[in-house]
Structure 1
Amino acid sequence: MASSRAVPNLRFRQLRGQRSPGEFAALVRRAAREIGEQVACDARYVGRVEAGEIRCPNYAYERVFLHMFPGLTLADLGFSDRETVRGRAARGRTPRPPDPYNSSNGTNSIDRTNSTYSNEESDVLRRAFMTGGTVTVAAASLGFGPLPGTEALRSDLPRQRVGASEVSAVEAAVRQIRLLDDRHGADGLYRRAAQPLRAAYALLDAGATTRGSTADRLAAGAGELAISVGWLAHDSGRLEDARSHYAEALATARVAGDTALEAHAFCNTSFLARDAGRHREAVRAAQAGQRAAGQLGSDRLLALLTLREAGAWAGLGDRPGCERALSRAQTLFGRGPSDTDPEWMSFFGEPELQALEAQCWSALGDWPRAARHAHRAAALQDPHFARNLALYRAQLAADLARADAPAEAAAVGEQVLDALEGDVESTRIRAMLADTARVLGSRRGTPGVASFLDRHAATATAARV
């Protein structure tokens, strides 16, 4: 039994130096961007490495670490040999045939540790994490089979122990869905994501007698997965489905006493209520989220929830209330990130701040001001996040059209069409662009507008076929 115990990685801890885990995680993410990788590194991941829970990083993290510390090997960084780690995991199991989606192609972002994924992990998450495929391949892969760990969903499940590997599978599914949504949007993913969500809640039910950190992680993972799937429904125009998923996450948070999950659920519930025209509900949900988040010490989370409140006040036409909330949000955001910021908030930087403020001014009818903020959001957004960049540009096109800048609106609209004809699939973005086309319909004589309108009509027709 002693041999299975995690051994702290003291070499990696030394490399972190005087930086906090959160600060070091930010350096890892920055280094990843430098070489075209994307890793969801946070303080918790750094802690797991230093605790020895991650004995060998996946290929994406390996490339990032070797980029950060040129001249060093994985052994120099305190990691074990990959073959050794896998060999122990595979001991006593029947060998599997070669897998064309094996992590040797460099696209697998699932960490293998002695307590998480084994060589029996499903093709689902490996294939879902392909960075070079289309959204169709990536989305379909979520439904090709069960999550790793969901083999426990057999008739004899009540006699099975829900442990770390099942919990890690749920957490990985959350990260997979978020990554694919960042790159492609929700439309092609929503229905496929229902399978891992059902599996996660079945595991939660099966593990009702589980105690301690495993139970806490399982509840948090299932709730976060419900929010992620709810967001896919939300972004693809299935608002009632989204409301159901967010309510499920909130109930899970309340039962588990998880204030972080509760704050996240209220954040998304407020956003959804605003989109559905239930602005007073959106205010109440945002304020409830702020009360929950107040216990967590994350100024960035409070900033986002306060922006949700601002958007709700704008929807009610309450400009003073909106401006007060915007001022509070800007102050909170200005305090900077911290180790207590939730992992799911990796999308929330300056571009998102600008975009949410643009939405407020749009709702208040101040189109030129909205356009200025939307332009900043699009200019600051990392192109790697294709879905958000297309969203910010769609917002900009809509604001420009109403700000009596039809040529500029058409030019930005063309960029959005480029994204929609590529890998981005989002009903929200298509709806925004359709609204812009309606506004520009009477300005066909303006240079560039006719071309945009004709192309938009052709694209909309193709999407319906």
Structure 2
Amino acid sequence: MASSSVPSSQPARPPRPNLVFRHLRGSRSPAEFAAAVRRAAREIGERVSCDARYVHRVEAGEIRCPNYAYERVFLHMFPGRTLTDLGFAPRSSVRGRRTRAAGDQPAAPPENPANATSETSGASEPYETHNRYDPYDPHDHEESDVLRRAFMTGGGATVAAATLSPYGLAPEASAAQRPVRRAGTSDACALEEAVRRIRVLDDRHGADGLYRRAAAPLRAAYALLDAGATRQRTADRLYSGAGELAISVGWLAHDSGRFDDARSHYAEALATARVTGDAALEAHAFCNTAFLARDAGRPREAVRAAQAAQRAARPLGSPRLMSLLALREAGGWAGLADRAGCEQALIRAQAYFDRGPGEADPEWMTFYGEAELEGLEAQCWSMLGDWTRAARHARRAAELQDPHFTRNIALYTAELADDLARDGRPEEAAQAGMRALDLLGEVQSSRVRSMLSGTSRVLLPHRRTSGVSEFLDRHASLPRMV
């Protein structure tokens, strides 16, 4: 930590009290208002540790701009208002305060670190609500630079493939430090390439081995946003890329069973989309939120999120995207045991799909073809208890899937095994289960393993049926997930 005698690189200025925020508190005490903030956070799935001291600091002007979690909570509490309407400074006016030219001395920390302002806290770690990096700490500056190099070791699109390791992601502390600079086109390209690389690796290997490695590029992306960009077009690409990366990392958490982490990443992507007015990113974030809600046993939320995604996506002109979003809605209706609602959404999904691919289809939708359509429909019928129909669609999904998508083949085959088992066809279920087990040598997916565990429980009373005992024994010998 730099000595407090080191002069600041910025002139000191007294904080300006936030009188607007004080007025909004009204007659409530700071402690009462802090309790209201925490309740509002819980309503939208956020966690903030707001207390009376934090309220005092906001009103005193020490916090010129809240972190992203607090921003979402305040905008939820006061709908229709912006941060500036609440008395805060625009984020653009405080973003990049840590950027320094090479050779500049770091800003001096306050004598009492607890009194440091946190106007930029959360900018580089948006899915945490506490101030992990004190903005006056030069180690924060170091960390941001190291994280950026998680996908920027050489600049441009060659970075993601520079250090492959088992999954193609560089370790976050593997390179020498260099001064933070404003982001440029090569940084945006590197971020976009990191997103593509993660998606390709997930298609082939599944999420379990990727999730923790992908966290470093995500932190790096938000460090880039914090540094600012040289041009508005570059800034737009960085925001879009960071949002897409948050969704990709959220999916890795989702597929590996870390639902709380996934929800946080998807929420961050949605906030980024809302801040920048990016309808395509908003539709993608709501799409994944709907999928997560269905898997987490919140089917009504899944329906609402899927419908919100369709509203955002309608102007984009992509029938294939609308098809996928209708399927997300169908999954929610199935979870609610609403067969009519599910069937209507499935009909819309098929009608949109039949219009064919188009130039407006998002890049991230490369996985969505006839196989995925069949697989998602199979899941709907499975939730509705129509095992025969579910098995028919799951079998077709596995047969149609491009060999590149190894994880999806494993998923559809596991779905088929479970549907057959529940449909009273244990021998066929065991055969499908064995094929899915064969693929686990290449795929690390908690979702697939969980499905096979359910199938094994259903098949247990049929151990004497041909092939079932072999499947059960082989499943039981799988190594436990760490």
TM-score normalized with structure 1 length: 0.68
Write the distance in 2 (CA, Å) between the matches of 1:119 and 1:233: 28
* 1:144 maps to 2:171: yes
Give the equivalent residue in structure 2 for 1:444.
463
Q: CA deviation at 1:269?
A: 0.2
* 1:177 maps to 2:177: no
Q: CA deviation at 1:270?
A: 0.2
Q: 1:299 to 1:146 in 2, by over 3 A?
A: farther
Q: CA deviation at 1:161?
A: 2.2
User: For this pair of structures, how many residues does the alignment match?
Assistant: 332
- Alignment partner of 1:204 out of 225, 238, 241: 225
Write the distance in 1 (CA, Å) between the matches of 2:442 and 2:270: 32
* 1:361 maps to 2:381: yes
Write the distance in 1 (CA, Å) between the matches of 2:284 and 2:163: 24
Contact kept? 1:127, 1:138, Cα under 8 Å? no
Contact kept? 2:152, 2:159, Cα under 8 Å? no
Q: Summarize the alignment of residues 322-401 of structure 1 with structure 2, pairs less than 5 Å apart.
A: 322-401=342-421
Q: Summarize the alignment of residues 209-224 of structure 1 with structure 2, pairs less than 5 Å apart.
A: 210-224=230-244
Write the distance in 2 (CA, Å) between the matches of 1:348 and 1:126: 25
Q: CA deviation at 1:142?
A: 1.4
Give the equivalent residue in structure 2 for 1:125.
160
Q: 1:287 to 1:210 in 2, by over 3 A?
A: farther
Q: 1:395 to 1:305 in 2, by over 3 A?
A: same
Letter matched to residue 383 of structure 2: A
Structure 1 unmatched ranges of 5 or more: 1-115, 130-136
Q: Secondary structure at the match of 1:463?
A: coil
Letter matched to residue 322 of structure 1: C
Contact kept? 2:218, 2:249, Cα under 8 Å? yes
The CA deviation string for residues 383-442 of structure 1, in whole angstroms up to 9 with x for no partner, is 22111100000100010000111000000100111111x121000000000000000000
Q: 1:146 to 1:380 in 2, by over 3 A?
A: farther
Q: 1:146 to 1:353 in 2, by over 3 A?
A: farther
The CA deviation string for residues 328-359 of structure 1, in whole angstroms up to 9 with x for no partner, is 11000000000000000000000000000000
Q: CA deviation at 1:243?
A: 0.2
Write the distance in 1 (CA, Å) between the matches of 2:456 and 2:159: 39
Contact kept? 2:203, 2:408, Cα under 8 Å? yes
Q: Summarize the alignment of residues 20-59 of structure 1 with structure 2, pairs less than 5 Å apart.
A: none
* CA radius of gyration, larger in: 2
Q: CA deviation at 1:125?
A: 2.0
Q: 1:138 to 1:123 in 2, by over 3 A?
A: farther
Write the distance in 2 (CA, Å) between the matches of 1:396 and 1:249: 33
Letter matched to residue 338 of structure 1: G
Q: Secondary structure at the match of 1:338?
A: coil
Q: CA deviation at 1:118?
A: 9.1
Contact kept? 1:125, 1:176, Cα under 8 Å? yes
Q: 1:324 to 1:424 in 2, by over 3 A?
A: same
Give the equivalent residue in structure 2 for 1:251.
271
Q: CA deviation at 1:262?
A: 0.3
Q: Summarize the alignment of residues 76-91 of structure 1 with structure 2, pairs less than 5 Å apart.
A: none
Contact kept? 1:124, 1:145, Cα under 8 Å? no
- Alignment partner of 1:309 out of 323, 329, 350: 329
Contact kept? 2:155, 2:190, Cα under 8 Å? no
Write the distance in 2 (CA, Å) between the matches of 1:185 and 1:124: 22
Letter matched to residue 205 of structure 2: H
* 1:189 maps to 2:189: no
Letter matched to residue 189 of structure 1: L
Q: CA deviation at 1:138?
A: 2.6
Write the distance in 2 (CA, Å) between the matches of 1:121 and 1:289: 32
Q: CA deviation at 1:120?
A: 6.1
Structure 2 unmatched ranges of 5 or more: 1-150
Give the equivalent residue in structure 2 for 1:21.
none
Root mean square deviation, CA, Å: 2.1
Write the distance in 2 (CA, Å) between the matches of 1:195 and 1:400: 41
Give the equivalent residue in structure 2 for 1:167.
188
Q: CA deviation at 1:382?
A: 1.4
Give the equivalent residue in structure 2 for 1:408.
428
Give the equivalent residue in structure 2 for 1:132.
none
Contact kept? 2:378, 2:393, Cα under 8 Å? yes
Q: CA deviation at 1:449?
A: 0.2
Contact kept? 1:128, 1:138, Cα under 8 Å? no
Write the distance in 1 (CA, Å) between the matches of 2:270 and 2:481: 35
Write the distance in 1 (CA, Å) between the matches of 2:423 and 2:438: 23
Write the distance in 2 (CA, Å) between the matches of 1:128 and 1:311: 39
Give the equivalent residue in structure 2 for 1:282.
302
Q: 1:192 to 1:119 in 2, by over 3 A?
A: closer
Letter matched to residue 433 of structure 2: G
Write the distance in 2 (CA, Å) between the matches of 1:280 and 1:120: 44
% identity of equivalent residues: 67
Contact kept? 2:157, 2:186, Cα under 8 Å? no
Contact kept? 1:273, 1:282, Cα under 8 Å? yes
Give the equivalent residue in structure 2 for 1:463.
480
The CA deviation string for residues 137-192 of structure 1, in whole angstroms up to 9 with x for no partner, is 433x4142479xx98x85x53xx221001111110100010000000000000000
Write the distance in 2 (CA, Å) between the matches of 1:258 and 1:192: 27
Contact kept? 2:303, 2:328, Cα under 8 Å? yes
Q: 1:191 to 1:308 in 2, by over 3 A?
A: same
Contact kept? 2:414, 2:433, Cα under 8 Å? yes
